[in-house]
Each structure stands twice: as structure tokens, then as C-alpha cells.
Amino acid sequence: MGGVGIVLGLFLVFSVAVSWVSGDKEKNRLEISMKERGAKEKQLEEEIKKAKIKFAQDAETLKDIESKLKAEVAEKRKVERALAQEERQRRMLEKAGATVDIEQEREKIRSEIEARTKQEISSLEERLNAVEEAKKRLEAEMKLKLEEGARKKAEDAWTQAELARAKAQEAAARAGELESKLKELEKAGKEMEARVQQHEFARMDAERRLAQEKEARDSMEAMLKESEEALAAARAQTESVKETALDEASTAKPEPATVAPEAVAERSASPAALQSPQSPQSDDRLIADLESARDEARARLDESLAALSRLEGEVGSLSAERDQLRKDSAQKEEVIASLRQELEMARESEAGLKRELASLNAAAIEAKANAEAEIRARLEIETAKAAQALGQAELALKQAEEAGKRSAELEIRLAETEKISQAFEATLREQETLKKEEELKLEKAFRKREAIETRLAEAEEQLKAAVASAGRRPEPAPARRQL
């Protein structure tokens, strides 16, 4: 029984050591997985920071482009105002009748301006395309990084949930093993209790038989003592009878040799038998019977003593075995108590692992939902920003195209106006010279008109005089031509 307790103790120690080692391994594995998760999160945060920095740089580039476009628009407005002023001057010259042919120079200027405008538009389109490509690439990278981060978080949460599930399964298996061990130990304890009861019954039976043997030994010792006393008395009486009455015959019938020692002892022990006159032969026979009874009683006493010692040894062995069984039972009770405690701890750890698994599953689901919501929100924000930037860039491009067209037209008008102003100055000089000539011609014409008027007045007077002399009604004079 002691060997069984030692084996059970070693088995329990080995199982506790295995569970301790497996718990340390699981703890180390969880610590490593947590460190890897932290490193992945840091890497993801760094990538997000880089993407934000790149997006800020692209935004600054767009702002620079917008500021340049605004500066160009301001300059073109200034040019438009200057051209409007030149246009007014040109209209004034057109009203004055100045005509200048500058088609060839206009075409040349238009081609130069168109080439420069196309170059500016192409550069702006390249910038816009680069910004769009950078925006698309940034959106794709951000989406990929966010999806990768969400996937890694989900994988980490799933890994932790799997580890917790594995630990829960191991705890459940361990609890099952402990329950089976506890049942086996309880069964062995019940068997041991049954054996203890059997040993107790056997010990009680042995003690009862020992008491009986002790009583029989005491009775046999008393009988032996009585038989020895009867034998001594018989010998003394026989010697006295032999001396006084050798020739007298005994009238009493001798007892057979097969008389029981108890009866002989009783007869020898009785005073009547000792005092009754008997023959020497009967006395010798009685002495022999008493000696045989004494020897038989001694043999039976020796047997009783041997049985008594044997029973005492059996009782001692049963008592020792009972004590060992009680000791083993106490050890098993301690082992069962420790197993029950370990089973309770395993059940508590299993319940804790189940709660942890449920919390990890909920946390994984919540983290996945939060990551998806965050991804959607960031994508919406980045898409809105990119769409806004794209709209602003397209608007700036349209404004640049319109400004380029206007600047080309304005430059053409400016060149035309310059040519017209030059022609206008030339025509002004010519007109001044012509004006001077016309003034001279007008002076001559005025002089001629005055001479003609004087001649007409004289002719009218002559006509009136002629009519008056002729008695006719004078006709009205024709209207004068005005110069």
C-alpha cells in the first residue's frame, strides 16, 4: 500500500510539473505574440505618418500651384485692363478712319502666344496628372495599409482567440483528467475502506479467538495444575498402600485405558477417589493415566500457546496493516483534497479562459468593425480631400486655359493696338499736314466764294433791273452751293 501511495504521489508531482511547464510555454508564446503585435502596430503607425506627410506635401504642392495660378490670373487681369485701354484707343482711331494692315505680324504674334500658352497648359496638365496619380497612389497605399493593419489586427485577435480556445480546451482536458483521477482515487479509497473494514473484522475475529484461546489456556493450565496435584497425591497414596496392604486385592473395577484425561483428572482430583482403597495395579494404572493426561494437557497447552502466539502475531500484523491502511487513506485523502483543489483551480481557469475567449472574440469583432469604420471614414475623408483638390486643380486648369486664351487675345490686341497707335500717330501727322493744306485750300475757296458772291449779287441786281424794265415778275435766285 505504501508503494501505491508513492506511485500516486510521483504521478501527481509529474502532472503538476508538466502543467507548470506547459503554462510557462504558453505564457512565453503569448508574450512573444504580444511583442510581435506591438511591433506591427508601431510599423503601421509609422507608415500612416509617412503617408500623412506625403499627403501634406502633395497638398502644399497644390497650394503652390493655386498661388501661381492666382498670380498669373492677377497679371492677366492687369494685362486685360491695359488692353481694354488700348482697345478704347483703337476704337477712337477706327472712328478717325485710320486703317493699318498688320495681318502678318498678328499671325506671328498669335502663333508665338499659342505656342507659349500650349506649353503652359501642357505643363499644368502634367502637374495635374502627376497630382492625380499621386492622389490615386496615396489612396491605394492608404487603403492597402489600412486594410493590412486591419487584417493584422484581426489576425492577432484571431490568434489570441485561438490560443485562448486552445488553453480552454487544454484546461477542460486537464479538468477531465483530474476528474477521472479523482474518481479513480475515490474508488480506490472506497476499496481501501472496504479492505480496512475487512481487516477490522478479521482483527476483531482474531481478538475474539485470542480471548477464547486465552480462556482455554487458563482452563488448561488449571486442569494441568489439578492433574499434577492429583498425580502427586496418587503417588503418595500408592506408596503408602504398597507398604501397608500388598496382599489385599482391589475390589473396584479398574478404568479402561481409553478414559479421557479430563475424566481421569476429575477422578484423581476428587477426594473420594484418592481416599478409596484400591489395588496397586489400579494405582499404577491411575498414575499412568494421570501422567498421560498431564502430558496431553501439556501438549494441548503448548498448542494453545502456539496458537495464541500465532493469533497475537496475526493481530499485530492486522493492526500494523490497519495503521498502514489508515496512513495510506490519510495520504489519499490529502491527495484527493489537493486534486479537488487543483480541479477547482482548473475549472476556475477554464471559466476565466472562456470569459477571456468571449472578451477576445468580442474585442476582435469590435476591433474589426472599428478598423473597417476607420478605414471607411479615412477613405471618405481622403477621397473628399482628393476630389476637392482635383476639382480645384481642374478649375485652376480651366482658369489657366481661359487666362491663356485671354492673354493670347489680349497680347494680340496689344500688338494690334501698338501697331494701330503707331499708324494713328503717322496718320495724325499726315492729317495735320493735310489739315494745313486744307486750311490753305479753304482760305482760297473762301476768297473765291466771296468773289463769286459779289459777282452773283451784281448779276442779280442786273437781272432785277432788267425785269423791272421789262415789267415781269422776277424769279427766285437759285440756292447757293455750300462748300
**Other Cβ atoms within 10 Å of 20 Cβ, number:** 10
Tell me if 408 sits within 8 A of 112, measured CB to CB. Answer: no
Q: Does 452 map to a domain?
A: no
Tell me what pLDDT residue 21 has: 61
Q: Does 482 map to a domain?
A: no
The domain boundary residue, chosen from 270, 291, 324: 324
Residues 116 and 232 in one domain: no
Tell me what pLDDT residue 74 has: 77
Q: Does 453 map to a domain?
A: no
Torsion angle (degrees, nearest 10) of CA 380, 386, 391, 396: 160
DSSP state, residue 99: -
Tell me what pLDDT residue 170 has: 79
Domain count, the chain: 2
Distance CA 143, CA 135 (A): 12
Which residues, in sequence order, are CB contacts of 212 under 8 Å at separation 6+? none
Domain limits for position 286: 214-324
Tell me what pLDDT residue 482 has: 41
Q: Does 8 map to a domain?
A: yes
Q: Does 471 map to a domain?
A: no
CA distances from 342 to 168, 179, 181, 182, 358 (A): 15, 10, 11, 10, 24
Tell me if 117 sits within 8 A of 407, measured CB to CB. Answer: yes
Tell me if 430 sits within 8 A of 100, measured CB to CB. Answer: no
Residues 361 and 424 in one domain: yes
Residues 76 and 189 in one domain: yes
pTM of this structure = 0.32
Distance CA 294, CA 174 (A): 73
Tell me what pLDDT residue 425 has: 72
Q: Does 457 map to a domain?
A: no
Q: Does 462 map to a domain?
A: no
Residues 191 and 222 in one domain: no
Q: What is the mean pLDDT of each run of 10 residues along the chain (483 residues)?
A: 58 62 68 78 78 75 75 75 72 60 62 73 75 76 76 76 76 76 75 75 78 77 76 72 54 40 44 46 69 75 75 75 74 74 74 73 72 73 70 69 68 68 70 77 76 78 76 48 40
DSSP state, residue 482: P
117: left (phi over 0), alpha (psi -120 to 50) or beta: alpha
Residues 71 and 173 in one domain: yes
Tell me what pLDDT residue 176 has: 76
